């Protein structure tokens, strides 16, 4: 039996007031440790899909499962717990609170997990060292360069060691050198086994990842391997969630130890 997918979207649609369909019947599977670039013009539905994967939004129809947990079965409180356990977010804007040392901002990423303060601080220091900021832990965001602030944001995303990272234009506000450094760090995280779904308009960034999905008008128009790390067998075929999980049966509700009640 193959490893359980980290992400399954099965026939997912999301419509808004006035009948505007941002995502239309999308099926997508992301396996453990897989890295996927999502490309497409503005307004194509990329960010809506990322919000659905991140459980920040719920689909109008279709099925979403994260690490085997059916999103439709979870209350808002349990969704928050699911995000804290399984998903790290990296955005174009760094979202680091002004006036506070970055070690505190990173440690705050563990608040929903119920981790004691001393342990939060220890893990935050470890995460900052992992992204090359072990010497800057007491600095405030305004004392850091753009690249350093993005690395601090990545540290916050990985402090809980989630199996999935979602990144929305993580290099969009950075110069070329800083962007390359951030992508190098994301490459390392992918190599260590973290799954990555990354939205980008940068062709060079997309080319670094082994799988590339193109979005247009709310649907996936292409899903293919882009390099040696990709799955040659996938080609341009889009697997549905049911195909990918045929051996795993129905997803059950999370247990209390995995997603607190």
Segment 25-81, tens digit of pLDDT: 999 999 999 999 999 999 899 999 999 999 999 999 999 999 999 999 999 989 988
The strands making up 35-39's β-sheet, listed across from edge to edge, are: 87-91, 164-168, 195-199, 35-39, 211-216, 219-225
**Looking at domain 35-57+85-228, which CATH architecture does it have?**
3-Layer(aba) Sandwich (3.40)
pLDDT, residue 227, reads 63
pLDDT, residue 61, reads 95
In the predicted model, what is the mean pLDDT of residues 196-211? 93
Please write the tens of the pLDDT for every residue from 99-140. 999 999 999 888 877 789 999 999 999 999 999 999 999 999
Q: Mind giving me the DSSP string for the chain?
A: -PPPPSEEEEEEEEEEGGGEEEEEEEEEEE-TT-EEEEE--TTSSHHHHHHHHTTSS--SEEEEEETTEEGGG--HHHHHHHHHHHEEEEESS--PPTTS-HHHHHHGGGGGGT--HHHHHHHHHHHHHHTT-TT-TT--GGGS-HHHHHHHHHHHHHTT--SEEEEESTTTTS-HHHHHHHHHHHHHHHHTT-EEEEE-S-HHHHHHSSEEEEEETTEEEEEEE-STTS-TTTTTPPPPHHHHTTTT-SPPPPPTTTS--
In the predicted model, what is the mean pLDDT of residues 141-161? 92
| Alpha carbon distance 25, 118 (integer Å) | 45
pLDDT, residue 152, reads 93
Q: Which of 178, 132, 171 shows the shortest CA–CA distance to 155? A: 132
pLDDT, residue 34, reads 96
pLDDT, residue 228, reads 53
pLDDT, residue 242, reads 35
Whether residue 221 is predicted with pLDDT greater than 70 in this model: the reply is: yes
Whether residue 165 is predicted with pLDDT greater than 80 in this model: the reply is: yes
Cβ neighbours of residue 239 under 8 Å, at least 6 residues apart?
A: 27, 28, 29
Q: Which two tokens stand for residue 99?
A: 């006036």
Whether residue 244 is predicted with pLDDT greater than 50 in this model: the reply is: no
Whether residue 226 is predicted with pLDDT greater than 70 in this model: the reply is: yes
End-to-end CA distance of the chain: 30
| Alpha carbon distance 190, 133 (integer Å) | 19
| Alpha carbon distance 48, 218 (integer Å) | 9
| Alpha carbon distance 92, 157 (integer Å) | 13
Burial of residue 109 (CB within 10 Å: 0-12, 13-18, 19+) is buried
pLDDT, residue 251, reads 31
Q: How confident is the model at residue 247 (pLDDT cuts 50, 70, 90)?
A: very low
| Alpha carbon distance 57, 102 (integer Å) | 28
pLDDT, residue 87, reads 95
pTM (2 decimals)? 0.83
Q: Which two tokens stand for residue 45?
A: 């539905």
pLDDT, residue 237, reads 39
- The whole-chain average pLDDT of the chain stands at 85
Q: Which two tokens stand for residue 248?
A: 């795993």
């Amino acid at each position: 039996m193959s490893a359980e997918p980290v992400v399954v979207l099965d026939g997912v649609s999301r419509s808004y007031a006035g009948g505007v369909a941002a995502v239309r019947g999308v099926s997508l599977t992301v396996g453990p440790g897989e890295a996927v670039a999502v490309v497409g013009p503005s307004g194509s539905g990329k960010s809506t899909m990322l919000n659905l994967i991140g459980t920040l939004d719920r689909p109008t129809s279709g099925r979403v499962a994260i690490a085997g947990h059916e999103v439709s079965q979870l209350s808002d409180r349990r969704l928050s717990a699911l995000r804290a356990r399984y998903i790290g977010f990296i955005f174009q804007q760094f979202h680091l609170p002004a006036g506070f040392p970055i070690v505190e901002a990173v440690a705050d990423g563990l608040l929903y997990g119920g981790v004691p303060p001393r342990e939060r601080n220890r893990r935050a220091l470890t995460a900052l060292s992992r992204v090359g900021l072990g010497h800057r832990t007491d600095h405030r965001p305004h004392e850091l360069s753009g690249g350093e602030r993005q690395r601090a944001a990545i540290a916050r995303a990985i402090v809980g060691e989630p199996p999935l990272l979602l990144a929305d234009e993580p290099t969009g506000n950075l110069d070329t050198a800083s962007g390359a450094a951030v992508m190098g760090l994301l490459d390392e995280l992918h190599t260590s086994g973290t799954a990555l779904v990354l939205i980008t308009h940068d062709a060079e960034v997309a080319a670094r990842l082994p799988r590339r999905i193109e979005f247009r008008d709310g649907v996936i128009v292409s899903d293919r391997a882009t390099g040696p790390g990709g799955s040659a067998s996938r080609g341009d075929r889009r697997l549905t969630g049911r195909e990918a999980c045929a051996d795993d049966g129905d997803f059950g509700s999370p247990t209390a130890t995995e997603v607190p009640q």
